[in-house]
C-alpha cells in the first residue's frame, strides 16, 4: 500500500534529554541576551558619563578662561581677603556677561545629550524586542517538543488508547467491510492482490483477514519501527529515499562492527533523532483525512452497500485514524520505547503464548495436532524500558485466529 500511503513511524522522544536540551537552549538564550543587554546598558551609561564629564570640564574651563580674561583686562580686581574694599561694580558686570555667553553652549550640549538618550532608549527598545522574540521562539520550540503543562505520560494512558484503537478496528472491519469483495473492480494494485488472495477463504476467515490487513495498515503508517515507512510525501521524495538508504547503510555498518551482536538500541536512537527532524517537515494539518482516504480506497471492494452502515462505519474510521495519530504522538513523547508488534502466520501457539492470545479458532472440538496461527487480527503492545532495554514488558497480547494442523513426523 506504499504507493498511496504516507506512512508514519513510532518516534521515541527521549523526554529527559529533550528537557535538558530545552533548559540548555533557554539558559544560552537568556545568558546571551543578558550579556548583550548589560553590555549595551553599560556602554550607554559610560557614554552618558563621558558627555556629562566633558560638559562639566568644558564649563570649568570656560569659567577659568573667562575669569582670567576679566582679570587681565582689569574688569575684575582680585583683592586679599583682609582688604576692606569690595569692587562690587566690576564683579556684578562680569558674571552677567559670562552667563549670557555660557547659556547657548550649555543649551546645545543639553540638546545633544537629550538626543543621545533618546537614541539609546530606541536601541534599548529594539534589544528588548529581540529578546521577547527569542523568548517566544524558545517557548514555541519547547511546546513543539514537550507541550507545556503536560504531566508525565503513564503506561496506562497509552494502554487505554491502544485498546480503544483495537476496538474501533474491530468495529470498522465488522460493520463497514462486510460485502463479498470483487477485487477486479479496484484500481489499486495492492488491493487487487490482497482481495484476490482471500477469495477462496470462508466468509469468517475473509472477515478476519480484512481486519488483520487493516491492522497492518495502521501499524505501518502510525506505529512502524522502520523509518522507511515514515513518508514525507512527494515534496521530499528524494530526502525520503536518502534517509531509507542511510538507515540500511547504518545497519550494515553496525553489523560489520559488531557481527551477530545486538544493536537495537543504536538503531532506535538514530531513528528517534532522525524522525524528530522528519516530523518537523511533515504537514500534519490534514493527516487523518489523508489516511481515511487511503483506507477507503484500499478496502473499497469490500465496503457494504448499506448507506446507514456506510455512514456509521466511515465515522468510526475517521475516529480510528484520529486516535491512531494521538497514540503515535503519545508514544513519541515517552522516555521509554513502546512497540506495536504482530505475530506471523503459521506460528505454533505454544511458541507465542507469552505474546499472543487465541481470539478465534477454525478447527472442530475434536481437532488434534499442532495449533498454529492463521491470522493476526490485531497486534500487541509492549514496553521497552530505558533502564532495562533487554527485558520488554508485554502490556497487551496480540489477538490471533488459529487452527489445528497435523505435522509430519
Listed residues 101, 116, 145: the one ending a domain: 145
Which of 9-18, 143-152, 356-365 bottoms out in mean pLDDT, i.e. has the lowest? Answer: 9-18
Tens of pLDDT along 363-402?
877 788 899 999 999 999 999 888 888 889 999 999 999 9
71 plus 165 within the same structural domain: no
Q: Band of the pLDDT at 230, cuts 50, 70, 90?
A: low
118 plus 186 within the same structural domain: no
Report if residue 268 sits inside a domain: no
91 plus 159 within the same structural domain: no
Q: Which of 131, 125, 206, 219 is nearest to 169 (CA)?
A: 219
Report if residue 266 sits inside a domain: no
Distance CA 23, CA 203 (A): 58
45 plus 193 within the same structural domain: no
Q: Report, as an integer, the average pLDDT of 6-16.
A: 43
Q: Is the pLDDT of residue 320 over 60?
A: yes
Distance CA 145, CA 148 (A): 9
Which letter does DSSP use for residue 395 in this model?
Answer: E
How high is the pLDDT of residue 337?
85
More confident residue, 196 or 233: 196
Listed residues 145, 178, 194: the one ending a domain: 145
82 plus 175 within the same structural domain: no
198 plus 328 within the same structural domain: yes
83 plus 214 within the same structural domain: no
Q: How far is CA 44 from CA 38, 51, 89, in A?
A: 10, 11, 46
Residues in the chain: 409
Q: Band of the pLDDT at 221, cuts 50, 70, 90?
A: confident
Q: Helix, strand, or coil here: 296?
A: helix
How high is the pLDDT of residue 238?
74
135 plus 193 within the same structural domain: no
CA 273 to chain centre: 11
How high is the pLDDT of residue 247?
74
Report if residue 221 sits inside a domain: yes
215 plus 348 within the same structural domain: yes
30 plus 100 within the same structural domain: yes
- What cell does 294 get? 487511503
How high is the pLDDT of residue 4?
41
The domain total for the chain is 2
Q: Report, as an integer, the average pLDDT of 199-210.
A: 93
- What cell does 116 get? 543621545
55 plus 127 within the same structural domain: yes
How high is the pLDDT of residue 142?
52
Residue range(s) defining the domain that contains residue 317: 151-231+282-405
Distance CA 214, CA 365 (A): 29
- What cell does 334 get? 515517552
Report if residue 272 sits inside a domain: no
Listed residues 125, 145, 165: the one ending a domain: 145
The residue ranges of DSSP E strands in 48-161, in sequence order, are: none
How high is the pLDDT of residue 350?
95
Report if residue 271 sits inside a domain: no
134 plus 162 within the same structural domain: no
Report if residue 264 sits inside a domain: no
Amino acid at each position: 500500500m506504499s504507493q498511496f500511503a504516507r506512512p508514519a513511524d513510532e518516534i521515541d522522544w527521549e523526554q529527559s534529554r529533550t528537557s535538558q536540551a530545552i533548559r540548555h537552549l533557554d539558559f544560552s538564550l537568556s545568558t546571551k541576551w543578558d550579556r548583550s543587554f548589560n553590555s549595551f546598558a553599560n556602554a550607554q551609561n559610560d557614554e552618558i558619563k563621558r558627555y556629562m564629564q566633558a560638559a562639566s570640564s568644558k564649563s570649568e574651563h570656560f569659567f577659568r578662561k573667562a575669569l582670567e580674561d576679566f582679570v587681565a583686562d582689569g574688569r575684575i580686581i582680585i583683592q586679599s581677603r583682609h582688604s576692606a574694599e569690595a569692587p562690587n561694580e566690576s564683579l556684578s558686570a562680569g558674571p552677567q556677561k559670562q552667563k549670557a555667553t555660557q547659556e547657548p553652549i550649555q543649551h546645545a550640549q543639553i540638546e545633544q545629550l537629550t538626543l543621545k538618550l533618546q537614541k539609546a532608549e530606541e536601541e534599548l527598545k529594539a534589544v528588548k524586542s529581540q529578546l521577547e522574540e527569542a523568548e517566544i521562539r524558545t517557548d514555541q520550540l519547547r511546546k513543539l517538543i514537550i507541550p507545556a503543562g503536560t504531566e508525565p505520560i503513564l503506561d496506562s494512558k497509552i494502554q487505554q488508547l491502544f485498546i480503544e484503537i483495537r476496538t474501533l478496528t474491530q468495529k470498522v472491519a465488522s460493520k463497514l467491510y462486510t460485502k463479498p469483495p470483487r477485487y477486479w473492480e479496484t484500481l489499486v494494485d495492492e488491493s487487487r492482490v490482497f482481495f484476490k488472495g482471500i477469495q477462496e477463504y470462508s466468509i469468517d476467515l475473509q472477515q478476519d483477514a480484512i481486519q488483520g490487513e487493516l491492522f497492518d495498515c495502521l501499524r505501518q503508517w502510525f506505529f512502524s519501527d522502520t523509518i522507511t515507512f515514515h513518508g514525507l510525501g512527494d515534496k521530499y521524495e528524494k530526502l525520503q529515499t536518502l534517509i531509507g538508504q542511510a538507515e540500511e547503510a547504518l545497519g550494515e555498518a553496525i553489523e560489520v562492527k559488531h557481527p551477530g551482536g545486538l544493536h537495537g538500541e543504536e538503531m532506535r536512537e538514530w531513528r528517534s533523532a532522525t524522525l524528530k527532524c522528519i516530523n518537523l517537515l511533515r504537514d500534519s494539518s490534514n493527516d487523518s483525512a489523508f489516511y481515511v482516504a487511503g483506507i477507503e480506497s484500499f478496502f473499497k471492494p469490500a465496503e457494504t452497500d448499506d448507506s446507514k452502515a456506510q455512514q456509521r462505519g466511515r465515522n468510526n474510521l475517521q475516529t480510528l485514524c484520529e486516535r491512531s495519530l494521538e497514540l503515535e504522538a503519545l508514544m513519541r513523547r515517552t522516555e521509554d520505547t513502546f512497540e506495536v508488534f504482530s505475530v506471523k502466520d503459521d506460528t505454533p501457539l505454544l511458541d507465542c503464548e507469552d505474546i499472543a492470545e487465541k481470539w478465534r479458532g477454525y478447527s472442530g472440538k475434536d481437532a488434534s495436532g499442532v495449533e498454529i496461527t492463521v491470522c493476526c487480527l490485531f497486534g500487541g503492545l509492549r514496553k521497552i524500558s530505558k533502564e532495562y532495554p533487554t527485558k520488554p514488558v508485554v502490556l497487551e497480547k496480540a489477538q490471533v485466529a488459529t487452527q489445528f494442523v497435523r505435522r509430519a513426523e
